[in-house]
């Protein structure tokens, strides 16, 4: 099953110059980059992205963090990429993320956890539509 998923390097990841290392892990794994951009997230976009978390007590802190600087958002394509990316990213709480995962290697606090990865194929579809216009997603051949 060829899938697409949305991966975002959060503001702490950008500030800590981790974008290249994070992208490298997805390339190395053999996934295909089909969309990429850097942007300053608005409160409105963020609340749509995290529509299920809007009422959580930590949402104001999450909003402050996610809008504190630019994010790098990308769409990766490949076989079971949604599930594989969740494994590569690691547990939401970096303290429970295994070494070798992005969060396990680069972060130590749940409110500064470096990356976002879509949690299901349906979630990925929704998030990709929210963050990207159709023309910003490129189909290209990688001989696979
Ligand atoms: P993410 O995988 O992007 O999805 C939801 C985000 O909410 C999560 O990463 C964390 O950044 C944040 N989050 C989840 N739970 C908490 C929490 N208990 N305290 C602070 N932030 C949280």
The structure tokens 């190395």 sit at: 28
pLDDT 10s digits, 74-131: 999 999 999 999 999 999 999 999 999 999 999 999 999 999 999 999 999 999 999 9
DSSP-derived pairing of the beta strands 71-79 and 115-117: unpaired
Of 42, 34, 100, the C-alpha closest to 71 is 42
**Cβ proximity of 23 and 14 under 8 Å:** no
Ligand 1 binding site (Cβ under 6 Å of any ligand atom): 53, 58, 61-62, 92, 110-111, 113, 116
3-state secondary structure at position 40: coil
Looking at the CA of residue 113, tell me the nearest atom of ligand 1. Answer: 11
Instruction: For residue range 44-75, list pLDDT tens digits in order.
Output: 999 999 999 999 999 999 999 999 999 999 99
In this prediction the ipTM stands at: 0.92
Q: What's the CA-to-centroid distance between 116 and ligand 1, angstroms? A: 9
- CA of residue 110 to ligand 1 center, whole Å: 6
Task: With beta carbons less than 8 A apart as the criterion, state whether 48 and 130 touch.
Answer: yes
* Rg, Å, the chain Cα set: 14
List, in order of start, the domains of the chain with CATH numbers.
2-136 (3.30.70.141)
Question: Is 116 part of the annotated catalytic residue set?
Answer: yes
């Amino acid at each position: 099953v060829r899938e697409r998923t949305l991966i975002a390097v959060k503001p702490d990841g950008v500030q800590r110059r981790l974008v290249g290392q994070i992208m490298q892990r997805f390339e190395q794994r053999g996934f295909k980059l089909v969309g990429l951009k850097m942007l300053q997230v608005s409160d409105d976009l963020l609340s749509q992205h995290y529509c299920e978390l809007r009422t959580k007590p930590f949402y104001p802190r999450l909003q402050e963090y996610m809008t504190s600087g630019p994010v790098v958002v990308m769409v990766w394509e490949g076989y079971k990429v949604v599930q594989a990316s969740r494994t590569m990213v690691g547990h939401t709480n970096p303290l429970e993320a295994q070494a070798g995962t992005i969060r396990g290697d680069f972060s130590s606090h749940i409110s500064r956890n470096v990356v976002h990865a879509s949690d299901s194929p349906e979630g990925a579809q929704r998030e990709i539509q929210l963050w990207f216009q159709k023309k910003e997603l490129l189909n290209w051949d990688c001989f696979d």
